[in-house]
């Protein structure tokens, strides 16, 4: 009975006995960051672009990319990427419904709309087979979100792009520095965009960056939201006449405090990323054989990695633990003193903003304001995505490799998984 259970939630000893210390602290900020920001402050150059350009050059070089363009946040970078790919009135983008809204919502203000595709149950990234089912003559782009850091199936997505003449926009906001079959994510699609928000693994406060090897996409992104750079960066005849004004009516340049921090954070990033990867992989290695919870990471010999492991997730398989709901599992792990929660919580395709709201006064929902057909999707339209609230867990986001504390957190998961039956009768 309950009284004999070792689980802390039923009166047993806690698995986590040590203090977390700084293992979850992010971003890691030191004197180098402080000094860089103070320099900007004392020079009075917060609105310049010099530091952004230095960061762009460094970041592009790290990826082996031709063009990089700093933005005031990742949302703006995605908006500009969509404009760069000519998403316009009546066009459709295909995106996943389980990630962040900035991966699709900016399409609305371009006159475009979104069609959501389902995801793979193990990678949690967009399922190329389902994408293909949803391609129409109006499809312009696919947004590939490397969810939780897991690289999308880029080979398949790029083949679809080739076959149907589409653009692929990589959203790398969870995966800075990650690899897909040995190649850096953010270098494979036609354009990539990523957030540098303070919670992201490369953290500049608020910021975003767009990268591409396509001159036209780059210059369109400059023309869209960087009016001061139109003079220096635009050479294409089709954009020449409009130099001096941002075509989007947006002003998307990055604050130089953020650019300065982006540079100092980036200088230490490869080494910090390696530590995050070591810590997160260690956690999963310790849990390889338990029932109910599977690692969300690519196979070791795939040449793919999880990048920054932003918002790390576990794959929850209730059928392996007697049907115990993930909310109960998470509660029991928390009682052990470890970090755990329900995982994916977004099902954007069911949100009223996507289905009902007339944002701009078209006289009908914005989602279908310019479409030739009703692209709205009800319950049941994304069968895998819709199971994710029950089939994922939020796991600890370790930023440092501290084996003892990681082992204690893993032990909390192991205990609950192995004694799940103690919780089944307890309701």
Ligand X SMILES: *Cc1c(COP(=O)(O)O)cnc(C)c1O
Buried b vs exposed e over 195-211: b needs ≥16 C-beta within 10 Å? Answer: bbbbebbbbbbbbbbbb
- Least separation in angstroms between CB 142 and ligand X: 14
Nearer to ligand X by Cβ, of 212 and 408: the residue is 212
Near ligand X by CB under 6 A: residue from 36, 60, 82, 102? 102
Task: Report the alpha-carbon distance of residue 290 to residue 329 in Å, rounded.
Answer: 13
φ and ψ of 247, to 5 deg: -65, -30
Axis-axis angle for helices 256-286, 403-418 (nearest 10): 50
β pairing state of 167-171 and 179-180: unpaired
Nearer to ligand X by Cβ, of 147 and 370: the residue is 147
170 binds ligand X (CB under 6 A): no
Tell me how many residues contact ligand X (CB under 6 A). 15
Q: Contact at 8 Å (CB) between 292 and 330?
A: no
- Least separation in angstroms between CB 217 and ligand X: 18
For residue 240, the tally of other CB atoms under 10 A from its CB is: 11
Near ligand X by CB under 6 A: residue from 149, 178, 208, 246? 208
Sole window of 167-175, 237-245, 314-322, 404-412 interacting with ligand X (rule: CB under 6 A): 167-175
Near ligand X by CB under 6 A: residue from 5, 49, 52, 99? 99
Near ligand X by CB under 6 A: residue from 12, 74, 148, 292? 74
In the block, residue with structure tokens 């103690």? 422
Task: Report the alpha-carbon distance of residue 175 to residue 194 in Å, rounded.
Answer: 9
Based on its alpha-carbon atoms, the radius of gyration of the chain, rounded to whole angstroms, reads 23
75 binds ligand X (CB under 6 A): yes
- Least separation in angstroms between CB 75 and ligand X: 3
- Least separation in angstroms between CB 307 and ligand X: 12
- Least separation in angstroms between CB 208 and ligand X: 5
Near ligand X by CB under 6 A: residue from 113, 125, 139, 195? 195
Identify residues 103-142 at the interface with ligand X (CB under 6 A): 103
- Contacts (Cβ under 8 Å, ≥6 apart) of 317: 291, 292, 293, 294, 391
Nearer to ligand X by Cβ, of 100 and 329: the residue is 100
Sole window of 2-10, 68-76, 175-183, 400-408 interacting with ligand X (rule: CB under 6 A): 68-76
For residue 1, the tally of other CB atoms under 10 A from its CB is: 8
Nearer to ligand X by Cβ, of 197 and 295: the residue is 197
Sole window of 129-137, 170-178, 369-377, 397-405 interacting with ligand X (rule: CB under 6 A): 170-178
Best CA proximity match to 185, nearest among 299, 30, 308? 308
Sole window of 169-177, 286-294, 331-339, 411-419 interacting with ligand X (rule: CB under 6 A): 169-177
Near ligand X by CB under 6 A: residue from 49, 73, 255, 366? 73
Nearer to ligand X by Cβ, of 99 and 219: the residue is 99
- Least separation in angstroms between CB 1 and ligand X: 44
184 binds ligand X (CB under 6 A): no
Nearer to ligand X by Cβ, of 74 and 314: the residue is 74
Instruction: Report the side by side order of strands in the sheet with 313-316.
Output: 293-295, 313-316, 392-394, 341-342
- Contacts (Cβ under 8 Å, ≥6 apart) of 351: none
φ and ψ of 346, to 5 deg: -90, 130
β pairing state of 313-316 and 293-295: antiparallel
Count of positions (residues) in the chain: 427
Binding site for ligand X (CB under 6 A): 73-75, 78, 99-100, 102-103, 145, 171, 173-174, 195, 197, 208
């Amino acid at each position: 009975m309950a009284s004999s259970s070792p689980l802390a939630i039923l009166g047993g000893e806690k698995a986590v006995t040590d203090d977390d210390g700084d293992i979850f602290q992010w971003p890691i900020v030191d004197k180098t960051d402080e000094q860089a920001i103070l320099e900007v402050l004392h020079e009075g150059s917060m609105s310049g672009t010099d530091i952004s350009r230095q960061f762009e050059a460094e970041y592009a070089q790290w990826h082996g990319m031709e063009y990089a363009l700093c933005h005031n946040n990742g949302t703006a970078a995605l908006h500009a990427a969509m404009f760069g790919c000519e998403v316009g009135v009546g066009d459709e983008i295909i995106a996943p419904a389980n990630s962040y809204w900035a991966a699709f919502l900016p399409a609305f203000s371009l006159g475009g709309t979104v069609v959501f595709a389902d995801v793979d149950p193990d990678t949690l990234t967009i399922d190329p087979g389902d994408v293909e089912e949803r391609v129409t003559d109006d499809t312009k782009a696919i947004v590939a979100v490397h969810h939780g850091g897991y690289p999308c199936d880029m080979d398949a997505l790029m083949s679809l792009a080739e076959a149907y003449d589409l653009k692929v926009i990589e959203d790398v906001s969870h995966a800075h520095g990650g690899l897909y079959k040995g190649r850096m994510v953010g270098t494979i699609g036609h354009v990539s965009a990523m957030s540098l928000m303070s919670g992201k693994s490369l953290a500049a406060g608020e910021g975003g960056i767009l990268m591409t090897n396509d001159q036209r996409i780059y210059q369109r992104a400059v023309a869209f939201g960087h009016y001061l750079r139109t003079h220096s960066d635009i050479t294409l005849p089709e954009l020449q006449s409009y130099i001096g004004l941002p075509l989007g009516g947006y002003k998307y340049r990055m604050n130089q405090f953020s650019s300065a921090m982006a540079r100092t954070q980036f200088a230490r990033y490869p080494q910090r990323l390696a530590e995050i990867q070591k810590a997160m992989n260690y956690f999963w290695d310790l849990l390889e054989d338990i029932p109910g919870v599977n690692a969300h990471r690519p196979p070791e010999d795939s040449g793919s990695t999880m990048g920054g492991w932003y918002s790390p997730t576990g794959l929850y398989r209730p059928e392996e633990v007697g049907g115990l709901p993930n909310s109960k599992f998470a509660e029991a792990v928390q009682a052990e003193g470890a970090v755990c929660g329900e995982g994916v919580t977004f099902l954007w395709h069911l949100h009223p903003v996507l289905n009902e709201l007339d944002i701009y006064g078209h006289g009908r929902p914005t989602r279908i304001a310019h479409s030739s057909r009703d692209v709205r999707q009800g319950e049941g339209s994304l069968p895998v995505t819709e199971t994710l609230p029950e089939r994922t867990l939020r796991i600890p986001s370790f930023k440092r490799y501290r084996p003892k504390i990681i082992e204690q957190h893993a032990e909390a998961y192991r205990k609950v998984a192995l004694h799940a039956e103690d919780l089944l009768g307890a309701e």
